[in-house]
């Protein structure tokens, strides 16, 4: 049975994926933003091994989360699921960074670099990545930290770039990204038209299935099917630029082997 770590598993697709994986007999470590949400997560997901706590908008807390995850041993799969959507343009993190960029883009980067390599890593992207800026010229480096605008679409493109960069660099790892569809979670809203069940099944499949279709790397999935994505995400220079910018912003180096 596999051991899986899922960020943002106090609610939504992360929580649903956790429940499904436990139902399938796997071991799941949850993650929540604070102790209160951690208690709620454990109550909602009976059978989870434990819950780790960190506010992913904080670079320091995210680094500490990686250490705590490593203290539990190596995971077979990590699902980078946590995310925020409706944040105002001028919301900034404790580090003075655009909030959505900190949570959706930087946290998966930091955790990817600092958590011991899992054989499978899954990044939650979105169809909205197609509207993201592949030039990466709006990222907060230097003095423009809090003033630049990084949209949700940009961050979901970053997740896709990250997954494809990891797939290219780590040939011993299956790294893929998922568009779960517009589904009725706290983020998606009650009126979202997508199928909630299908919204988490692809991540579960990529995390633990031995199907040949699930043991690939460097792909973008919707409902277990490889679908069209912004070609720039697959370009090595774009991936390298993203990694270099993340290194500059976080001080965390990407590990190359
Ligand atoms: N729902 C959709 O229609 C849709 C569509 C495309 C892509 N996605 C992607 O799917 C993923 C999951 O979304 P969802 O719909 O399940 O959203 P959700 O119901 O809002 O759940 C998001 C999870 O992330 C956690 N989180 C947010 N900010 C955090 C922070 N600073 N520190 C720690 N945890 C934090 C939330 O914690 P709290 O519960 O404590 O807030 C929650 O557990 C996201 O990456 C999203 O971008 C969703």
Give the number of domains in the chain. Answer: 1
Report yes or no on 118 lying in a domain.
Answer: yes
Report yes or no on 256 lying in a domain.
Answer: no
Predicted pLDDT at 142 = 72
| Position 91 pLDDT exceeds 90 | no
Which of 71, 73, 54, 76 shows the shortest CA–CA distance to 204? 76
Pocket of ligand 1 (CB under 6 A): 8, 10-14, 33, 37, 55-57, 81-84, 103, 124, 126, 180, 182-183, 185-188, 192
Predicted pLDDT at 164 = 98
- Give the residue, by CA position, lying nearest to ligand 1 atom 27: 83
Predicted pLDDT at 90 = 78
For 72-86, 144-158, 218-232, which range has the lowest pLDDT when averaged over its residues? 144-158
- DSSP E strands in 100-246: the ranges are 120-124, 174-178, 219-222, 225-226
Q: What is the CA 244 to chain-centroid distance, rounded? A: 18
Report yes or no on 37 lying in a domain.
Answer: yes
Report yes or no on 255 lying in a domain.
Answer: no
Domain containing residue 191: CATH number:
3.40.50.720
Question: Which two three-digit tokens encode residue 44?
Answer: 């909602």
Which of 164, 137, 181 shows the shortest CA–CA distance to 234? 164
Range of the domain at 169: 3-250
Instruction: Dump pLDDT digits (tens) for 8-17.
Output: 999 999 999 9
Report yes or no on 108 lying in a domain.
Answer: yes
Instruction: Dump pLDDT digits (tens) for 103-143.
Output: 999 999 999 999 999 999 999 999 999 999 999 999 998 76
Report yes or no on 22 lying in a domain.
Answer: yes
pTM of the model: 0.98
Report yes or no on 257 lying in a domain.
Answer: no
- DSSP E strands in the chain: the ranges are 3-6, 27-32, 50-53, 77-80, 120-124, 174-178, 219-222, 225-226
């Amino acid at each position: 049975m596999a051991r899986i770590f899922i960020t943002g598993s106090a609610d939504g697709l992360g929580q649903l994926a956790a429940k499904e994986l436990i139902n399938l007999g796997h071991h799941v470590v949850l993650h929540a933003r604070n102790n209160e949400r951690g208690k709620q997560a454990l109550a909602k997901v009976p059978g989870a091994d434990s819950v780790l706590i960190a506010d992913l908008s904080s670079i320091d807390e995210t680094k500490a989360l990686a250490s705590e995850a490593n203290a539990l041993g190596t995971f077979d799969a990590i699902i980078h699921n946590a995310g925020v959507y409706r944040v105002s343009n001028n919301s900034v993190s404790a580090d003075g960074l655009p909030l959505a960029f900190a949570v959706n883009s930087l946290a998966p980067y930091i955790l990817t670099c600092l958590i011991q390599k899992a054989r499978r890593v899954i990044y939650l992207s979105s169809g909205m990545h197609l509207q993201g800026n592949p030039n990466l010229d709006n990222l907060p480096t230097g003095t423009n930290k809090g003033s630049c605008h990084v949209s949700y679409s940009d961050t979901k493109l970053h997740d896709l770039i990250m997954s494809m960069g990891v797939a290219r660099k780590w040939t011993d790892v299956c790294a893929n990204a998922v568009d779960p569809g517009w589904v009725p979670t706290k983020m998606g809203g009650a009126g979202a038209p997508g199928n909630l069940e299908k919204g988490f099944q692809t991540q579960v499949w990529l995390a633990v299935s031995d199907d040949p279709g699930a043991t690939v790397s460097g792909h973008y999935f919707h409902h277990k099917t490889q679908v069209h994505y912004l070609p720039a995400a697959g370009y090595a220079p774009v991936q390298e630029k993203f990694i270099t910018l993340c290194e500059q912003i976080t001080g965390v180096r990407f590990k190359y082997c």
